[in-house]
């Protein structure tokens, strides 16, 4: 509201000018306080998330990305079906170099890594120059060393690392099921001992009721719904959705 200016009396004129200045300053302060954000309301950039893995991550990409997007996060996903931590078959891939490049390029705050245990011919070569045969101590030792190297590379830029424990398999080939189970145990024991800051995310939790392989689980209506593919390794759309929700709940 404008302040009336008296005419003729210098003292009244001076008081009026001071009062006008005071009213203006007060209005400016009030406007500034109204515009100032409340504590905790500052814009915070969402974390940069990187997802890496083999075919379990690749085939679950849609569900994983959707689960993170629902939390306002756009994840970067890099998954190669058939690949493993060792440069071997069925899909020979130099994950160690790729992990370093991804971290350098993306500077992630969080990395979720999933490597179930894929390994086949052509086999990796051991320190003695001989092929590292699957399903033996030499294989597990080589995989353990590769796990350490992968974790070190993923966390080199300060990212928090979460490591997936793959769910149990039923491939119909006992040696393959045993290898995936052995890799899972290796992660449980080695990462807990050597990498206490790395979070383990157990995908068996949303895909089993008692820790054993389950082809179906009760749906929202109580009826059985398939969560695993017929191959005994991969997940159905529902299985991927459950895994994605569980992963996001665990790591965020």
Same domain as 214, residue 94? yes
Same domain as 231, residue 140? yes
Same domain as 111, residue 19? no
Same domain as 121, residue 28? no
Give the model's pLDDT for residue 125: 93
Residues 75 and 64 sit within 8 Å (Cβ to Cβ): yes
Task: Compute the Cα dihedral for 179, 184, 189, 195 and give only its sign.
Answer: positive
Q: Which domain holds residue 150?
A: 49-251
Give the model's pLDDT for residue 41: 52
What does the DSSP assignment read for 87-119? S-BSS---HHHHHHHHHHHH--SEEEEE-----
Same domain as 20, residue 135? no
Nearest Cα to 196, choosing from 155, 168, 166? 155
How many Cβ atoms from other residues are within 10 Å of residue 103's Cβ?
20
Whether 26 shows a pLDDT value over 80: the answer reads no
CA–CA dist 76, 56 (Å, integer)? 16
- Of 1-10, 216-225, 237-246, the one with minimum mean pLDDT is 1-10
Same domain as 30, residue 64? no
Same domain as 122, residue 7? no
How many Cβ atoms from other residues are within 10 Å of residue 248's Cβ?
21
Give the model's pLDDT for residue 28: 47
Strand 199-202 to 216-218 pairing: unpaired
- 203: domain CATH number is 3.40.50.1110
**How many separate domains does the chain show?**
2
Same domain as 104, residue 26? no
pLDDT digits (tens, 9 = 90+) for 177-200: 999 999 999 999 999 999 999 999
Same domain as 107, residue 27? no
Same domain as 79, residue 13? no
Same domain as 97, residue 35? no
């Amino acid at each position: 509201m404008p302040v009336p200016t008296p005419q003729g009396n210098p003292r009244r004129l001076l008081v009026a000018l001071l009062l006008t200045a005071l009213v203006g300053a007060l209005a400016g302060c009030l406007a500034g306080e109204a515009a100032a954000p409340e504590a905790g309301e500052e814009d915070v950039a969402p974390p940069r998330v990187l997802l890496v893995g083999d075919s379990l991550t690749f085939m679950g990409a849609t569900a994983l990305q959707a689960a993170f997007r629902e939390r306002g996060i756009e994840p970067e996903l890099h998954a190669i079906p058939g690949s493993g931590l060792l440069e071997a078959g069925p899909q020979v891939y130099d994950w160690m170099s790729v992990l370093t490049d991804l971290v350098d390029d993306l500077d992630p705050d969080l990395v979720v890594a999933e490597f179930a245990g894929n390994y086949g011919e052509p086999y990796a070569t051991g320190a003695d120059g001989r092929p590292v045969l699957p399903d033996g101590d030499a294989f597990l030792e080589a995989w353990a060393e590769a796990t350490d190297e992968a974790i070190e590379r993923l966390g080199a830029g300060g990212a928090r690392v979460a490591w997936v424990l793959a769910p149990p398999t039923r491939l119909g080939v006992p040696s393959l099921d045993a290898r995936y189970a052995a890799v899972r145990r290796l992660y449980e024991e080695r990462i807990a001992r050597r990498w206490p800051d790395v979070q383990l995310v157990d995908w068996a939790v949303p895909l089993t009721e008692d820790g054993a392989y389950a082809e179906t689980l009760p749906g929202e209506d109580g009826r059985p719904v398939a969560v695993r593919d017929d191959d005994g390794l991969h997940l159905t759309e529902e299985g991927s959705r459950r895994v994605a929700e569980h992963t996001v709940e665990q790591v965020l």
